Structure 1
């Protein structure tokens, strides 16, 4: 699987390159700026990309802008964005797309190798991946509305749904049956007024849209 990385921190970029190479990925290019990243995507046509939200020269939103531009040029290009802090605005911008294959993780997740690699594989396969800390903040921000009607178990299921996990993974994580997960999800969607027919990526977007207050 061919990867292009956009990361200006030399140590982190080198660490990512070493890790991915050891895991069988082909790192086609490591870019330090948004312009270099876009050029590398055009030249190498990667299977998945990893992009830091903040890149030179201003270290504000060059990375997220480059990621969005790359997806406009190559619709469906899998993009896993890394951020030092929880920045809900950037997460919302990335996930506003109607296509799949996007992820938003805090850089701390990179040190949790299994978690990071799982997220990268899921994004490359077309899934939506959301950092648990971002989801936790969104849940907390929606206090005082229909989310309060959810049971503790339903809130756990909702959080895992928002992170992009499928029913089987949710069942394994919570040590419950697939049928129980299906029932909880039905209850959640009914209480939040979301369409129960939404599945996969659309389901994640529906939940995140609700948590962002835009549903």
Structure 2
């Protein structure tokens, strides 16, 4: 799998590249700013990019802006945005467009090889990745009356794991449930949230957005 990395911190960037290379990824480019990343992707689109949310020249949202550009111009390229801080509103902005293959992960997760490589593979395959810390902060907010109130505790558990971008199989493993049981819970969640029509992938994203917005 071909991956590009964009981060202005050279040591961090090289560290991520080494970790991914050792895990079998082909790191085809390392750059220090968003403009260089977009240029390299235009020349030779990879399977996925890993991009810091803050880069030159302003160190604000260059990486997030690049992610949006890639979602629009290169929808087949998975985008994993890394952030040093829990910033839930940025995570929501990434997924609200409905684009496939996007993720938001805290930089501290890079120390976990399995977590990082799994996230890159999932966005490259068109999946959704949201850092568990972001999910926890969003769902910990005060909530007004919402369709989520109709869910049972177990359905909420299933939806919480789904909100991290996990598959039904991963939900089975996390919650120690059978495949059929998880499928039944997921169908029930869709029904209670009024998501009766459309492909399951789309309904999963809509269910996650409902959950995160509260």
- Whether TM-score is above 0.5 comes out as yes
- Which ranges of structure 2 fall in alignment gaps of 5 or more residues? none
Tell me the distance in 1 between the aligned counterparts of 2:193 and 2:142.
11
- The question of whether the paired residues in 2 share the 8 Å contact of 1:54 and 1:63 is answered with yes
Return 70-79 or 60-69, whichever deviates more: 70-79
Tell me the distance in 1 between the aligned counterparts of 2:53 and 2:198.
33
Q: CA deviation at 1:212?
A: 4.4
Q: CA deviation at 1:121?
A: 0.8
- The question of whether the paired residues in 1 share the 8 Å contact of 2:162 and 2:208 is answered with no
Q: Which residue of 2 aligns with 1:78?
A: 78
Does the C-alpha gap of structure 1 residues 48 and 95 become closer, same or farther in structure 2, counting only changes over 3 Å?
A: same
CA deviation digits over 1:147-203, x for unaligned, max 9?
Answer: 344333222101111111121211122111111112222332333333365412x13
CA deviation digits over 1:107-138, x for unaligned, max 9?
Answer: 11111111111111111111111111112222
Does the C-alpha gap of structure 1 residues 198 and 140 become closer, same or farther in structure 2, counting only changes over 3 Å?
A: farther
Q: CA deviation at 1:209?
A: 2.3
The number of residue pairs the alignment matches comes to: 213
Tell me the distance in 2 between the aligned counterparts of 1:5 and 1:147.
38
Q: How does 1:1-215 map to 2 (within 5 A)?
A: 1-141=1-141, 143-145=143-145, 146-195=147-196, 198-200=199-201, 202-213=202-213
Tell me the distance in 2 between the aligned counterparts of 1:98 and 1:150.
24
Tell me the distance in 2 between the aligned counterparts of 1:105 and 1:204.
19
Q: Under a length normalisation based on structure 2, what TM-score does the superposition of the two structures give?
A: 0.91
